[in-house]
Structure 1
Amino acid sequence: MSIKTLVSLGLLVFIPISIAAKHWEWGSLTVFITSAIAIAPLAIWLSTATEEIAVVTGPSIGGLLNAVFGNATELIIALVALKEGLIDIVKASISGTIISNLLLVMGLSMLLGGLRYKEQEFQPVVARVNGSTMTLAVTALVLPALVTYSSGKVSTEQIGKISITAAVVLVVVYILTLVFSLKTHSYLYEVGLVEQEENKPQDAIEHSTKPNLWLWLGVLVVSTLAVAFESEIFVGAVEEATSGLGLTPLFTGVILLPLVGGAAEYVTAVRVAIKNNMDLSVSVAMGSSLLVALLVAPILVIVGQAIGQPMDLSFELFEVVAVTIAVAVANLISLDGRSNWLEGVLLLATYIILGAAFYFHPA
């Protein structure tokens, strides 16, 4: 049994602990910490179940499952927070997830992978496509904010209409990226999987058996429901706990929530980078950012309108600038298809500086 499996099993003990903390009112900070830790292994099991099902169903359906469930934890937490009316935190979590995936996850992957291998390579074509698509997503975030800040006459209703229009366009673009990556240009995205198979010992390949589909479907369903349940506990305590620590909703959404919801992607991206599979690592980091920008954010806008918690894409100007910086730095570093430990340090340094700025921002 792998260390990842042992850790994810061991951390499940925090599920009953978080329930007890809420039931016996051990304090909002205790509930916040225990539920956050409980979500992490659930996210890992949800991700693992998706990967195992993908092995059985094949690359096309498996790729679609990964595309849909890749950020299921972040989406569930955001939907619960949106239902509770924590719109500022939800918006901040969207920009925070993009920033953390592009800077923190890619930075750690390039640093730790670069310490083991002098230089690592990945498909520059995939990085360019992802970078171009992320630029569109940033445009969709920038324009509503610019309209808000450049015009004193624009109404909330008009911003809502702009956001709905942008949300629909982003969803369409996301569907087209799936067609591109899973159908018309799937060969560009298969390099990481091929390298993984090539790195397996021959006896492991010969004696390996396909996973139990129904078992992993059960794990997927249970993990999803458990994440939703724990998210209710987590979101119920997040505002009081973080304000008690002197943290703003902006810092909570941008820094803390992505760390809780993105544990599975972080572990996967860093683990495969250390195994010299930077193609897969970069795809996980950039693909997760794309999923949030092109699908999760639009879904939250549309659902918010439906449930009476109107959310738009008019982010704080500071958030927009931070996301733009993250996308620009990540694109510049990834364009050549090569990475080393110093580039990882540059990405992490950018993340730390932005994190400090969000911490001291008085929002």
Structure 2
Amino acid sequence: MANKIFIIVTFIGVPLSVIGTLMHWSSTVLFLIYCLTIVSLASFMGRATESLAIVTGPRIGGLLNATFGNAVELIISIFALKAGLIGVVLASLTGSVLGNLLLVAGLSFFIGGLKFKRQHFNVHDATHNSALLIFAVIVAFVIPEVFTINMNESRSLSLSVGISVILIALYLAALFFKLVTHRGVYQPKVESGAEQQEEEAEWGKGKAITILLAATIAVAYVAENLVHTFEEVGQSFGWSELFIGIIIVAIVGNAAEHASAVIMAYKNKMDVAVEIAVGSTLQIAMFVAPILVLISLLFETKMPLVFSLPEMVSMAVAVLLSISIANDGETNWFEGLTLLGAYVIMGIGFYLL
């Protein structure tokens, strides 16, 4: 039923997005159309990556989901950078970290926990990812803020570029570690092999990849136009740049992995669900954010990797809370509810700012 609704929304939303853009409809109307269209397109991306996860395994499947899910936000952020909306871009990066660690993981643990009393995932991956999260979010994001207090803009940007290069190099090294040198070393014991053998992918590999690429291209077009509605919509609803970036852009931009992670958790595939939530956060912090810093060098307005105090504190708290909950390799619905509660509290705070 849900898939049929998304199909209908996609085939109506994409043409309406084109027509509305050409005819200069109200920004508020276009904003709603663009958001619904991106979410519906993201559902196709989620189904395609779910099919690929069955074929390629949880790690590569989770990585593919995070990559294509983050591609949406990367596209939105590049157009926002081009428009000079640095505050929106930094806020959307913050929103992605909070959204993945608190909203996506929280929903996954909660929905999955309602069906299963206890859900388990690879504790070795959880421990490895915890160290990376602390480095990527707390070390790499907090240090620029501390060191740039007495720096001018030029030196702040130079520090941000240096940190960005190191983050990208370490992210590529982390992928090499997980997918090449230590692939299969920390694999959990499979209790029931029959369940995996019976599972069939909805789409074949070729069809899934084609749908992923087509949906990403469509999202790129809609996202470019979505960015131009931010200012007027923000004035209409009383939303700040901070709130638009942290809540609206982050939720719309990460809709693909939101849906996929919850579906995987409901099917008790917690390795994939956790890989999507945590892997996406690592990709945002160690690849997307640094890439955006480097891309901003091509535009008139440059973006240093310096966040506001509320953004830094909220990201650090999200990392520490998610690590404390997930480090034992198992979860339940109450732990999911705790993460969701933290997300709502932070959302209220950013709204009131």
TM-score after normalising by structure 1:
0.89
Corresponding position of 1:337:
329
Deviates more, 1:318-327 or 1:306-315: 306-315
**Aligned: 1:162 with 2:154:** no
CA contact (8 A) 2:62 2:276 kept: no
Unpaired stretches in structure 1, ≥5 consecutive residues? none
List aligned pairs for 1:133-152, cutoff 5 A: 133-138=132-137, 139-149=139-149, 151=150
CA contact (8 A) 1:181 1:189 kept: no
Aligned partners of 1:190, 1:4: CA distance in 2, in Å? Answer: 33
List aligned pairs for 1:1-363, cutoff 5 A: 3-12=1-10, 13-50=12-49, 52=51, 65-66=64-65, 68-138=67-137, 139-149=139-149, 151=150, 154-187=151-184, 198-200=194-196, 202=198, 211=204, 213=206, 215-361=207-353
Q: What fraction of aligned residue pairs are identical, expressed as a percent?
A: 38
What is the CA RMSD across the aligned residues, in angstroms?
2.5
Following TM superposition, by how much is the alpha carbon of 1:135 offset from its aligned partner in structure 2, in angstroms? 0.8
Counterpart AA for 1:108? L
List structure 1 segments (4+ residues) > 6 angstroms apart after TM superposition: 54-64, 194-197
Secondary structure, aligned partner of 1:97: helix
1:223–1:197 CA distance, 2 compared to 1 (3 A): farther
CA contact (8 A) 2:262 2:273 kept: yes
CA contact (8 A) 2:53 2:61 kept: yes
CA contact (8 A) 2:30 2:229 kept: yes
Aligned partners of 1:259, 1:59: CA distance in 2, in Å? Answer: 23
Following TM superposition, by how much is the alpha carbon of 1:66 offset from its aligned partner in structure 2, in angstroms? 4.8
Following TM superposition, by how much is the alpha carbon of 1:195 offset from its aligned partner in structure 2, in angstroms? 7.9
Aligned partners of 1:115, 1:56: CA distance in 2, in Å? Answer: 27
1:245–1:189 CA distance, 2 compared to 1 (3 A): farther
1:46–1:140 CA distance, 2 compared to 1 (3 A): same
Following TM superposition, by how much is the alpha carbon of 1:46 offset from its aligned partner in structure 2, in angstroms? 3.3
Counterpart AA for 2:225? I
1:116–1:188 CA distance, 2 compared to 1 (3 A): farther
Aligned partners of 1:104, 1:325: CA distance in 2, in Å? Answer: 14
Unpaired stretches in structure 2, ≥5 consecutive residues? none
Counterpart AA for 2:101? L
Following TM superposition, by how much is the alpha carbon of 1:117 offset from its aligned partner in structure 2, in angstroms? 1.3
Between the two proteins, the alignment pairs up a number of residues equal to 351
Following TM superposition, by how much is the alpha carbon of 1:143 offset from its aligned partner in structure 2, in angstroms? 1.1
Following TM superposition, by how much is the alpha carbon of 1:18 offset from its aligned partner in structure 2, in angstroms? 2.5
Following TM superposition, by how much is the alpha carbon of 1:110 offset from its aligned partner in structure 2, in angstroms? 1.0
